[in-house]
Structure 1
Amino acid sequence: MSVISAATAGATGPVSEPAEASTPSAPGSQPYGFGPLLLRLHFYAGVLVAPFLVVAALTGLAFTVSPQLDGMAYGAELRAEADGRSARPVSEQVAAAIAAHPEGTLSAVTPGDQGATTKVVFNLPELGENQHTVYVDPYTGRVLGQLTTWFGATPLTTWLDDLHRNLHLGVVGRHYSELAASWLWIIALGGLALWWRRHRGARGRARRLLLPDLTARKGVRRTRGWHASTGVWLLIGLLILSATGLTWSRYAGAHFSSALEALDAGRPELSTTLTGAAGPDSGGGHHGGPAGATPVDPAAIDQVLRIARTDGLDGPVEIGAPADASSAWTVTQVDDVWPVRKDGVAVDAAVGTVVSRNDYADWPVLAKLSSLGIMAHMGVLFGPVNQILLAALAVGLLCVIFWGYRMWWHRRPTRADRRAIVGASPVARGAWWGLPAWAIVVGLPTVFLLGWALPMFGGTLLGFLAVDLVVAAVRRRGRRDIATPISPAPAGS
């Protein structure tokens, strides 16, 4: 793998390189096969997309430590010590929260456990997607604080999440993260293919692929070894980050959701419609009922929780208030640490029965994989180990990008008459003409399909091709002008 060409080193420079990677093809003798095309695409994508990957890596690195930052910033709201005491009834804690925050509509309650406070969430119309969360000490029933939250996330985590997703630029900013995710897997796999080609047939190929050659002389050779071998170690993690990042992107994410819906492979909804009632189904979403829903009696929460526990829902849970009088309460497991617990039940508090159930074991495979991938991307699936792995991926990606740009600089022409700041492209334009006919016939529809599924990839790929063609046309015209002799003026003119 490499994020800037594993052989971006191909431009003419002060260090001699093998012909495959260093000598641009002469006009009229284009190289044959996939290697030159991979190399040129890898070069363009590495140089032009890498800045977006740098931003994604830096903002993602900041997000990996959000739980620890939350603990420092909001410890007074989030933590409560048992000190040998038993938790008070949840209904009592909710009543305390309502007394401290009478505005809004009760949406959900997450009972405190293992040193965490109870979170009582309210919908307010003026907050839009955000909500107001009141934090209650489960052992004393005392309100410890209030925060404006987004899907349960604190203001600090929400700020870091927005920074990573859209740089606080709203919908426009989401294009940067989708562009990075769309190209990351292509750059990674392309770099792996180039590194594999370089060592095909060599003795000890596995070692050469996985470890840098420390005996290589300083310069582009040694830098390339660190760049590519580090990328190989990061490959699986980068592919997972790319795939999971695309699932909630603006355009590719919409296509992914449509595909899940067409395959009937999405996450099943928990029906909350009470038997014989005509009310709408709330679906058991993050926010429970909509703002302005019918007020509910918090005294029923204790019974609802007891019924859910009896029905097998152990561990941390979220209790969702009914959307209206014809809807049931919901209780869903919210344990995101492997092995995850995601079962849910809908409870009719009036008669004390479970009216529907949604078991994680019954989810379609794609829904499970999507959910697990997203939790891994967010750093919660394996607890602190997940955070460490994500941080290592981010730092490793930054190193690979740095080494890629360093190679580009190493390969710059240094002769006095050809001096340049950076190196040129390692392969002449038009490398795709060297592909066999069957590859073009199969490849073009594949690229169009990828461009449709990943619009940010398709659009920027067209941009790369357009720039390449324009620059080639301008340079050809410049060469023709230089080569055209100037006719002498007629005598006597």
Structure 2
Amino acid sequence: MTAAPEARPGPPAPARPGGPFRGLRPLVTRIHFYAGLIVGPFLLVAAITGLLYTLTPQIERWAHADALYAPVSGPELPIAEQVAAAVATQPGLPVTEVRPSPEPGVTTRVSFDADLAPSYNRTVFVDPYTADVRATLDTYAEWLPVRAVIDNLHRSLLLGPPGQVYSELAASWLAVLTVSGLVVQLTRRVRARRERVLPRTGGSPRSRLMSWHGAVGIWASVGFLFLAATGLTWSQFAGSNVSSLRTALDWTTPTVSGTPLTGSAGAPAVGDTVGADTALVLDAARADGLTGPVEVLPGDPGEAWSVIGTVRSWPTRMDSVAVDPASGAIVDRLAFDDWPVAAKLARWGVDAHMGLLFGVANQIALAALAAALIVLVVWGYRMWWLRRPTLPGGRRYAGPPGSRERPAPASVALVAGLALLIGLAMPVLGISLVAFLLLDAALAARRASTGVDPTPAAVSQRMTRPPNG
């Protein structure tokens, strides 16, 4: 008895019109296939660690509750006493930042330059009601240790700069896979247009998987492109190019002026007077109208200190002022409304990528995108497994999706030209895209040398041919 074929193909595909860009869609389809197959593990790791990162606010509050919180036991002590208590535990270290308690029951943070790794500080957490030190931790920018580990795991797999190549590869190819997937899904032949955006419920297991894969990809595409674009701002190579472009176009985030003060020697942010200076600077900023949670950034001797709003869930409250620490005079002001449009968009985009914008709603949206990416990668590998080169019973498929039509030279030249242009701004993507084109050409040559007929009729005959015996 002969085994029944796994799937019976439809009628041969009609002849497609020629033209200089003949075979462009099949080429895009193959790039999507190869990229998903090879880059899939990187995307899966990025999605899983990104999903974990969306939970960091809750994890951080649980893991570092002793440092973050203090029981309300009366009125808050003057900020000068709180800072002095922290300074006493770190003699000789310059103060880099002071974050007064933003709400009842939350500790005050005082950070020091302790000659640690880049972006790390020694931070002392002070009870605002008793001036007792609750904890001393090495923090990564504003993140406490547990969030710092998860952040660096997502960004570089805890490997430092070499590991950042992984995240850059994932972010850049996420954009390519999204765009190529849109091309494949929106141009494929379907019985009804709704099947391009809504999954099918009938058909073979592979056709259902393909339908779900395409539909979910369509709905998540805007979010994926957003994550790719904002994620590349932190990347090693593309990120530096983005920073250079923003600088050239004056799109960088503005800051209040820290130029030397006229007629004032200023004060170093270390020693017995730093607490009093912090109190003077903070009072001046509050009197000038700066409200809500803030951070006080001491300047170098003879320079103004900065006081900046820290409400990341609502960036429009990130106003800042520069204050003379000797007199308390306001020497510069900068409202968020005065930022360049590009800088505002960058701030909102970065905060949304980190799950800080609008609080829990942002976390839920990011978690949904991460979950969608995970299932898309898993579904992609499942579809490959159902179409793998060798199947039970000796049956074979002619090649990857889109392999039945060779692209015209103009199609290859178009994609290669785009790869070269992209490579100038995103070298990791450009180099890997050229590698994919070379791989496609090599596999096409191999199929031709083995005598595999890629025409629809030949494919139909091979798929329906019973196994030997």
TM tier relative to shorter chain = 0.7 to 0.9
CA contact (8 A) 1:109 1:119 kept: yes
Match of 2:224 in 1: 238
Shift of 1:262: 1.0
State the AA in 1 paired with 2:72.
A
Q: CA deviation at 1:86?
A: 2.6
Aligned-partner residue type, residue 180 of structure 2: G
Tell me the distance in 2 between the aligned counterparts of 1:277 and 1:432.
72
Distance 1:187 1:61 in 2: 20
Quote the residue 2:77 is aligned against: 88
Q: Do structure 1's residue 48 and structure 2's residue 28 form an aligned pair? A: no
In structure 2, distance between residues paired with 1:106 and 1:307: 19
| 1:103 Cα deviation after fit | 4.6
- The residue type paired with residue 367 of structure 1 is A
List aligned pairs for 1:186-205, cutoff 5 A: 186-198=176-188, 203=192, 205=193
Q: Deviations over 1:63-98 (max 9, x none)?
A: 111111111211011012336x33221111001112
Aligned mates of 2:171, 2:269 — CA distance in 1:
38
2:424 is aligned to 452
| TM alignment of 1:339-418, pairs within 5 A | 340-412=316-388, 413-414=390-391, 416-418=393-395
Could you tell me whether the CA contact under 8 Å between 1:79 and 1:116 is conserved in 2? yes
Deviation of residue 269 (structure 1)?
A: 2.8
CA change 1:33–1:304 in 2 (3 A) is same
CA–CA distance in 1 between the matches of 2:20 and 2:446? 19
Partner-residue secondary structure (3-state), 2:151: helix
Which has the higher mean CA deviation after the structures are superposed, 454-463 or 100-109? Answer: 100-109
Q: In the alignment, does 2:203 pair up with 1:213?
A: no
Q: Secondary structure at the match of 1:125?
A: coil
Deviations 1:101-156 (A, max 9, x none): 32521111000122321101011125553111010111222211110111021111
Unmatched segments (≥5 aa) in structure 1 = 1-12, 281-288, 481-493
CA contact (8 A) 1:274 1:348 kept: no
Aligned equivalents of 2:418, 2:77: Cα separation in 1: 60
Q: Is contact 1:24-1:426 (8 Å) kept?
A: no
2: distance between equivalents of 1:110 and 1:30? 62
How far the C-alpha of 1:277 sits from its partner, in A, is 7.0
Q: 1:443 to 1:464 in 2, by over 3 A?
A: closer
For residues 103 and 473 of structure 1, the distance between their equivalents in structure 2, rounded to whole angstroms, comes to 69
Residue of structure 1 equivalent to 2:458 = none
CA distance in 2, matches of 1:354, 1:15: 76
* Matched position secondary structure for 1:265: coil
Q: TM-score, normalised by structure 2?
A: 0.87
Equivalent position SS for 1:149: strand
Aligned equivalents of 1:32, 1:74: Cα separation in 2: 60
Decide whether aligned partners of structure 1 residues 217 and 332 sit closer, same or farther in structure 2, where only a CA change above 3 A counts: same
CA distance in 2, matches of 1:25, 1:411: 24
Supply the AA of the counterpart residue of 2:437.
L
CA distance in 2, matches of 1:170, 1:429: 43
How many equivalent residue pairs?
444
Secondary structure of the corresponding residue to residue 317 of structure 2 = coil
Shift of 1:454: 1.2
1:332 aligned counterpart, secondary structure? strand
Deviations 1:17-49 (CA, angstroms, capped at 9, x unpaired): 4579xx7999x9999353212211111111111
Which residue is equivalent to 1:426?
401
- 8 Å CA contact 1:15, 1:220 repeated in 2: no
Note the alpha carbon deviations across 1:191-241, whole angstroms, 9 max, x for none. 1221111257x54x2x42332111x12411111121111112211111111
